[in-house]
């Protein structure tokens, strides 16, 4: 009896060991084949309402077909609540993060905010999919998730671009790393800002000549939409030597309604800015003709206020921050903090009672605007020399007309004409 019981107990132990081995084997086999269970997608979102959403967004989606779990990995996270956010932003030291969340709530939020949403399903080998999953999980760890954001060199799109290059064993960059891009960085930015005249001008004014050089397709992919454009037809060779499409399916989840479209071709903006500059100049000419001292003085104070702010922001960003795309900006030759001086001088000239002070302020204002004219002309002439190629015609076209009207130049022209057409006395003949 006891002997039989002992056999039964031994059989149970063996059975448990057998089940344990089966369970371990199943876990191992599941781990080895986990890549086959995964579906990887790239989701590209179009522009949003806020300024920092105008260039769109892009994320990586990883779905597990067995568990049904779908996670979204996002390298474009930031928070206004972060410590020293505004000072870090001002000095160009803004920290962005990689985070993970469930797919549906995030995608639905983009759809509710009336943004384009398109997904691209990636055709990758099982081992590559698992490798990318581990890479994404590694990136969201607290010690790895933060990075210093750069609008053109390191953002949510460039991070996804680099992941695609990793997935194709360097073939993505090999294809596009030297291929010439369609536009410069400035032109790409302005394709997205055309509908807002003020911010279109301001951003264009603040960006220096470094973003006007020719770039590659690889560099163009700082924009999410450019990644979507390139991956749809991209083909690569997998580790087994098989050529395959990077994208196996494209699905449009939402189309924005009544949102300004991103221009396919950047528009030429300087003629419109020239018309605005000429309009301001015409108003000033009318004020001068009618001897509207108050209007003329206040107008100059307002111009000094607006361009003084713009010039101060440019001066600060050029010399005191890490915003390297504002460096080497010839706009600072004629729009800079000196223009703040027009505010008090304009007030004195327009509202002052002392005739002598009004005269002095008027001459100082003319000198200030004359400086702006020659600084603007200098910024044009230096383009004839190697190393100067900034496309800042928009700012030049805006300021030159009214600066000429307010400067000493009209006085000089009148003096010249007076000298040239001065009536001469008839000669006296000796009789």
pLDDT tens-digit readout, 123-180: 999 999 999 999 999 999 999 999 999 999 999 999 999 999 999 999 999 999 999 9
pLDDT of residue 80: 83
Q: How far apart are CA 38 and CA 35, in angstroms?
A: 5
- State the chain's mean pLDDT as an integer: 92
**Residue 34, beta-bridge partner list:** none
Report the top-level CATH class of 34-181+216-254. alpha beta
pLDDT of residue 419: 83
What distances in angstroms separate CA 388 from CA 202, 208, 227, 378, one per listed residue? 21, 10, 31, 11
The span from the CA of 425 to the CA of 310, in Å, is 53
Asked whether residue 350 carries a pLDDT value surpassing 90, the answer given is yes
**Helix, strand, or coil here: 152?**
coil
pLDDT band at 259 (very low <50, low <70, confident <90, very high): very high
Percent of the chain with pLDDT over 70: 90
pLDDT of residue 15: 55
Q: What pLDDT, on the 0 to 100 scale, is given for residue 421?
A: 78
pLDDT, residue 328, reads: 97
Provide mean pLDDT across the span 102-124. Answer: 97
DSSP letter for 424, please.
P
* pLDDT attached to residue 429: 40
Q: What is the pLDDT of residue 418?
A: 84
Q: What is the pLDDT of residue 148?
A: 95
Which residues make Cβ contacts (< 8 Å) with residue 369, sequence separation at least 6? 403, 404, 406, 407
Question: Assign residue 61 a region: left if phi > 0, alpha if psi is -120 to 50, beta otherwise?
Answer: beta
pLDDT attached to residue 82:
79
Separation CA 349–CA 116 (nearest Å): 53
Pairing of strands 146-148, 117-122: unpaired
pTM above 0.75, yes or no: yes
Q: What integer pLDDT is reported at residue 426 of this predicted model?
A: 52
**Residue 414: how many CB atoms within 10 A of its CB?**
10
Per-residue pLDDT, 135:
97
Does the pLDDT value for residue 430 go beyond 50?
Answer: no
pLDDT cut 90: percent of the chain above it: 84
Q: Mean pLDDT over residues 231-248, rounded?
A: 96
Mean pLDDT of 25-53: 80
pLDDT digits (tens, 9 = 90+) for 363-419: 999 999 999 999 999 999 999 999 999 999 999 999 999 999 999 999 999 998 888
Q: For residue 20, what pLDDT band results from cuts at 50, 70 and 90?
A: low
**Taking 70 as the threshold, does the pLDDT of residue 21 lie above it?**
no
> What pLDDT score was predicted for residue 28?
47
**pLDDT of amino acid 156:** 97
Confidence of residue 84 (pLDDT cuts 50, 70, 90): confident
Predicted confidence band at 72 (pLDDT cuts at 50, 70, 90)?
Answer: very high
Instruction: Check pLDDT > 70 for residue 306.
Output: yes
Burial of residue 312 (CB within 10 Å: 0-12, 13-18, 19+) is: middle
Which residues of the chain form CATH 3.90.1720? 34-181+216-254
Residue 424's pLDDT band, with cuts at 50, 70 and 90, is low
Given a cut of 70, is residue 29 above it in pLDDT? no
Residue entry with tokens 């059975």: 15
Least-confidence region, from 11-20, 88-97, 234-243, 318-327: 11-20
Residue 4, pLDDT above cutoff 90: no
């Amino acid at each position: 009896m006891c002997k039989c019981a002992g056999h039964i107990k031994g059989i149970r132990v063996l059975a448990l060991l057998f089940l344990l081995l089966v369970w371990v084997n199943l876990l191992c086999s599941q781990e080895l084949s986990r890549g086959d269970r995964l579906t990887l997608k790239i989701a590209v979102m179009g522009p949003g309402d806020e300024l920092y959403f105008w260039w769109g967004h892009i994320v990586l989606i990883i779905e597990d077909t067995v568990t049904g779990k779908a996670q979204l990995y996002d390298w474009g996270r930031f928070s206004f609540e972060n410590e020293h956010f505004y000072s870090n932003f001002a000095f160009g030291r803004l920290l962005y993060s990689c985070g993970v969340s469930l797919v549906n709530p995030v995608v639905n939020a983009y759809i509710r905010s009336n943004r384009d949403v398109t997904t691209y399903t990636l055709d990758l080998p099982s081992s590559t999919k698992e490798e990318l999953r581990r890479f994404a999980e590694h990136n969201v760890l607290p010690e790895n998730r933060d990075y210093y954001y750069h609008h053109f060199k390191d953002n949510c799109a460039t991070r996804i671009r680099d992941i695609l290059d990793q997935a194709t064993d360097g073939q993505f960059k090999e294809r596009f790393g030297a291929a010439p891009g369609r536009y410069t960085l400035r032109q790409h930015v302005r394709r997205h800002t055309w509908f807002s005249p003020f911010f279109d001008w301001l951003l264009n004014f603040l960006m220096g000549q470094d973003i006007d050089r020719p770039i590659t397709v690889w560099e163009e992919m700082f924009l999410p939409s450019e990644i979507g454009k390139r991956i749809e037809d991209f083909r690569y060779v997998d580790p087994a030597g098989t050529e395959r499409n990077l994208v196996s399916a494209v699905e449009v989840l939402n189309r924005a309604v009544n949102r300004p479209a991103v221009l396919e071709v950047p528009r030429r903006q300087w003629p419109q800015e020239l018309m605005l500059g000429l309009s301001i100049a015409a108003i000033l000419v009318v004020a001068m003709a009618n001897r509207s001292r108050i209007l003329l003085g206040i107008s100059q104070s307002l111009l000094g206020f607006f361009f003084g702010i713009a010039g101060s922001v440019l001066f600060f960003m050029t010399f005191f921050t890490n915003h390297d795309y504002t460096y080497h900006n010839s706009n600072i030759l004629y729009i800079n903090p000196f223009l703040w001086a027009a505010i008090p001088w304009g007030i004195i000239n327009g509202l002052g009672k002392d005739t002598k002070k009004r005269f002095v302020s008027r001459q100082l204002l003319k000198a200030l605007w004359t400086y702006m004219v020659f600084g603007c002309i200098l910024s044009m002439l230096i383009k004839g020399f190697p190393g100067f190629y900034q496309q800042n015609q928009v700012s030049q076209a805006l300021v030159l007309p009214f600066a000429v009207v307010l400067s000493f130049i009209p006085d000089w022209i009148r003096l010249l004409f007076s000298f040239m057409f001065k009536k001469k006395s008839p000669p006296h003949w000796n009789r």
